[in-house]
Structure 1
Amino acid sequence: MKTIYIEQQTTLESSVFDVAQQEPVLLFMPDGREFILTQADNFEAEVDALRNSLSFQNFLEERSKCQVRIPIEEIEREIDEELKISSSA
């Protein structure tokens, strides 16, 4: 895990962090990437917060409905191919 120290916050960042103190926040980027922001006090508390978060449970429910599955073997093959390409470059 990488640690980033935030010295100045925009109003948006400040309000997002305020919400994250109460419950996990799901962040959607314009390019489609998704991130979860939660207060990192300790792992057990984080697990409890996610377990008790209705919005996070709904998110997991929606994600589980996705019919597209990628076999682990295919992912391993793609990683091996990328490693071969990057090592030969």
Structure 2
Amino acid sequence: MRMLDLSKQNISLEDLLKLAASESVCIVSETGQTFILEEADEFDQEVETLGKSEKFKKFLSDRSRENSAMSLKSYQRSLDQD
């Protein structure tokens, strides 16, 4: 990850985007705020799309209410038996 302190270095938006196209850039503003800039990939876009999907949110809600098939202790015992 490339660090870029705007209080010490001046950079154009175009140059900043070129940097972010090849690697993540940590930008520190003149006031000390920190930002991460990186190229959006398909995973990021999929996460955003699923986050807006009511059908997917319902699926997750329903899934979270399901009982587990095996407790953690039972699973650990099964591992110890092998």
Bigger strand fraction: 2
TM-score after normalising by structure 2 = 0.36
TM-score after normalising by structure 1 = 0.34
